Chain A
Amino acid sequence: GESVGLHLPTLSVQEGDNSIINCAYSNSASDYFIWYKQESGKGPQFIIDIRSNMDKRQGQRVTVLLNKTVKHLSLQIAATQPGDSAVYFCAENIRDNYGQNFVFGPGTRLSVLP
């Protein structure tokens, strides 16, 4: 079946460096994507989103890039801080046998090194 996936299960970066977390998706009909951040012991929280009619969207220290040609999504975090340590999920909005819902990848754990 079609699914959302991630290239890297873990990522370690030095504090102050930029982080890039990648995600591949296969459902060409998906029109809305979200990145979530999940800190230890908490539920996932919205970071940034992008619609399929855009290829880039910027927030505060975060940027999401969407490449529909190769079905690739990335999250860039500028000047990574210790508080950015978490698991990051990408999710795509689809309509499938379970109705309209979001499908999540397995997540990438970001560790920020001092």
Chain B
Amino acid sequence: NAGVTQTPKFQVLKTGQSMTLQCAQDMNHNSMYWYRQDPGMGLRLIYYSASEGTTDKGEVPNGYNVSRLNKREFSLRLESAAPSQTSVYFCASTEFKRGGYTFGSGTRLTVV
């Protein structure tokens, strides 16, 4: 099925370790986003890419970096994981037509 694919689904990291969350969409959308979701705080924007070749900081970018590898793929990197980065991470894409975002199924990350 067409949509947004995120990998991995689950990950446990030790403090200070690094990792990259992968996201790919097959809907030919220009805009892609990374959100984190914490209990009681809704979805907060980490980084976004309005189009291929551009990336910009969102509301909570500290501790993260992103790469828009091509139109399909948008990765999120944690260089030195901290317990405060324990969260569920969602990738989304859109063309800002009716329907808004299409979300991936999420990556549940625990930093110990």
Residues of A within 8 A of B (CB): 9, 32, 34, 36, 41-46, 49, 89, 91, 93, 98-102, 104-107
Contact = CB atoms under 8 A, between A and B. Distances in A.
Contacts, number: 59
B43 A89 contact: yes
Contacts of B100: 32, 34, 36, 46, 49, 91, 93, 102
B58 A98 contact: yes
A102 B101 contact: yes
Contacts of B106: 41-43
Interface size class of B (residues with CB under 8 A): 20 to 34
Contacts of A44: 43, 90, 101, 103
Contacts of B105: 41-43
List 7 tightest A-B contacts by C-beta distance, closest first.
A43-B103, A106-B42, A104-B43, A34-B100, A104-B42, A98-B58, A44-B103
Contacts of A45: 103
Given A9-B40, A41-B105, A49-B100, 13 more contacts: A32-B100, A34-B100, A42-B106, A43-B90, A44-B43, A46-B99, A91-B100, A93-B100, A98-B57, A99-B48, A100-B50, A100-B96, A106-B41
Chain A CB count within 10 A is highest, among B4, B50, B101, for B101
Contacts of B99: 34, 46, 49
B36 to A, nearest CB: 12
Contacts of B48: 98-99, 101
A112 B43 CA distance: 24
B74 interface: no
A104 B103 CA distance: 13
A45 B104 CA distance: 9
Contacts of B92: 43
